[in-house]
Amino acid sequence: MDMQKVFDKVVDHLLEQRKQSTVSDDLAPGGYRCMYRGNSGLKCAIGALIPDDLYTSSMENAGVGYMLLNNPKLAKHLDIKIGKKRPSEGDTAYKEERLLIKLQNIHDVREVEEWEKLLRDLAWDYELQFQGEKSWR
């Protein structure tokens, strides 16, 4: 999956869902934490990219970079060339991983009302097309 396809899939997912994928956690700030797969079938930005047959609950609580290093089938599915170590800055895999991290952070850290602008800005930064056609109102 090239970066445009990854971006499009995540944007479509977030525009449709318009909610964070969370579970209650009394120890976490705000009393909840984001999950790749949360309650009521919700998925985070990265969770939307994980096929059901590759998802395991052990992925939860891991950042996307660590998760890809430890799940080579998922990295292959996303067509991200990650070896046994983290990619170096300037590598294509580094740029792809950074995009995924930024998509994850938009979902996990920012308010839903901010997502459209942040996704548009991210598209600009990565020279991608923002093709989200659905209304946020």
Structure tokens at 87: 């990619």
Q: Are the C-beta atoms of 112 and 50 separated by less than 8 Å? A: no
* 20-39: pLDDT as tens digits: 998 777 766 776 778 999 87
Domain ranges of the chain: 3-125
CB atoms closer than 10 angstroms to residue 119: 23
CB atoms closer than 10 angstroms to residue 123: 18
* 99-122: pLDDT as tens digits: 999 999 999 999 999 999 999 999
Tokens 């919700």 found at:
42
